[in-house]
Chains A and B, each alone.
Chain A
Amino acid sequence: MLHLRGLTHRYRTGPALEFPDFDAVAGERIVLGGPSGSGKSTLIALCAGLLSPQSGELCVAGLNLARASVSERDAWRGARLGVVPQRLHLSASLTVAENLVLPFLSVGAPVDRPRLRMLLDALDIGALAERRPHELSVGQAQRVALARALARRPTLLLVDEPTANLDDEAASAVLALIDRCARDGESGLLIATHDTRVTRTWPEARALRLKRPMAEPVA
């Protein structure tokens, strides 16, 4: 499901980021951690196929990203990957229900209404379907974003800092929810976080720890 070998990436300015070798099998849970500047966001962008690996091997959810073309990566991302960004990025112009149609509309696939109905019920957001994102609480918006990521039954769920700015109660609720969703959908899970509450909640999860590069880090 995840395979890293000698992977590096270097931005035009800043030091080269070197990522540790790592392997995980389907359905495994990975907690991606490391100090800021260690390349967490870069690795997520690489794993989501948004950046091209400059050297080394990177296979994610069945695709060799070092070799795949842009359109292959687009199609793969739509079919196999579910991403929940830290800032959620629900479209303010659309209702909750319309936001949940976007995963299908983006790839030109027919809308799987029963699947969406099931997710709305499972995440307890059915009553919010006609609301706009600005009418939602943080927790509600997070559940909508999670539903969006799960809409097309991803092989790998990629979640960025799900517990940032949440109190303990809300954080454990979110983690329980993500846990349940990943289990129900038999998806692998890659959570990028520096929150120790995550590792405490899932002691069995595989840790992928990044280190700061040798030169001065770039924030």
Chain B
Amino acid sequence: MTLPGLAWRFLWARPLVAALNLALLTLGVAAMVFLLVVGAQIERSLQRDLAGIDLVVGAKGSPLQLILAGVFHLDVPTGNVPLAAVQTLRGNPMVAQVIPLSLGDSLRGFRIVGSSPDYLALYGAALTRGRLWMAPLEAVLGHQAADELAMEPGHRFAGSHGLGSEGAAHASSPYTVVGILAPCACVLDRLVLTGVESVWAVHEAHEAGHEQGTEQADDEREVTLMLVKYRSPLAAVTLPRWVNAQDGLQAASPALESARLFRMIGVGADVLRGFAALLMAVGALSVWVALLHAVRDRENDLAMMRMLGAPSRRLAALVGLESLWIAVLGSSAGLALGHGMAELLGTMLARDRSLAVHGLFWTVGELWCLLAVLVLAALAAALPAWRVIRLDVTRLLQSPS
């Protein structure tokens, strides 16, 4: 048996108390780790999705909604804008690139996005199998979408109207899968991509069922929104104002809106983090109380060790080691639980075709969290260790009364 071994035996001398303290500390660490891991992943994936997009232009409405619908594909879009607006915007000398997006249909919860190959280039996405779309009604699937739908190039599917999974099927205009994207850890993973023309073709065929009239003229065609890249940073000052002045157009800056979003979510996240910290502090406090009691219960054992020649600093180390054991066990269990909960949340979000969150994601914040646990453990051990150093050994020689 070694000194850490003895500390271990003393810790489990009262198994119920030890387990309770461990549970408290574990829950605190787990809550903190969960918030850190999930928060960092969401922020990272949102930042990744935002990269390269300077401005989102769509129909009048909430700018935040535009961003949520156009960049993250989480919300419904504000409406459609005429195709002519794409040309107008492309003609603006301050604009380097305009990527049109047409939304409105989905495939079992995965959104069908009509766009141009530029959209794939924006995220640096590459194909693992097949090729890009070349004709209307050819589709390329994002990695997660292909995985969950179990689709291969050559498969055919009909999109359903609307962004939920209950819309009416466009059975008369089936798509053909021609390619699958490699995982890009971005929003493309959960999208079904096709040309803008496909979306027009599907809806013209759909409307042809109701009224007689086939191909629409270009000036009647619409896109849902446009992702804009500036030619120079100066454009950030004037272009949004110019867009908002246009009839029926609304500009939203992803940087501004996402900052606003994080600020709104941030308050809630801070409150949650506060609770997690409180839980950790309660855990440390209970470890402290338990150590105080343990030292009092064990005063005779510790005094006997002094009698056997142990210097008082050795006994203080013994108390510290006991606290350290709880810290190490609590941290490990808390880490495992926190990452497990993140993984669980990830599976739930994946079922909702939402943000990608994984359990095996590590952040620097966790290191600080573990450091905090160690400091708390050291603080919890300080007073009990001091009492051990001050222990009166002559108590052992008192006769039984």
Contacts and interface: CB of A to CB of B under 8 A. Distances in A.
B394 A51 contact: yes
Interface residues of B, number: 28
B398 A41 contact: yes
B400 A102 contact: no
Interface string A151-180: 010000000110010000000000000000
Contacts of A75: 309, 311
B301 A106 contact: no
Given A102-B305, A105-B1, A106-B305, A93 B311 contact: no
Interface string B1-45: 111001001100100000000000000000000000000000000
Contact of B300 (A79, A89, A106): A89
A93 B13 contact: yes
Interface string A93-134: 110001001110111100100000000000000000000000
A20 B52 CA distance: 95
A50 B400 contact: no
A93 B7 CA distance: 11
A71 interface: yes
A85 B397 contact: yes
Interface string A64-98: 00000001001111110101011101011110001
B314 A108 contact: yes
A111 B308 CA distance: 14
A44 interface: yes
B171 interface: no
A135 to B, nearest CB: 15
Given A44-B397, A50-B393, 15 more contacts: A45-B394, A74-B310, A75-B309, A75-B311, A77-B309, A78-B310, A81-B309, A85-B397, A86-B400, A87-B400, A89-B307, A91-B301, A98-B1, A105-B3, A106-B310
13 contacts: A41-B399, A85-B397, A86-B397, A86-B399, A89-B301, A91-B304, A92-B301, A105-B305, A106-B306, A107-B310, A108-B314, A161-B399, A164-B399
Interface of A: 41, 44-45, 48, 50-51, 71, 74-79, 81, 83, 85-87, 89, 91-94, 98, 101-103, 105-108, 111, 148, 152, 160-161, 164
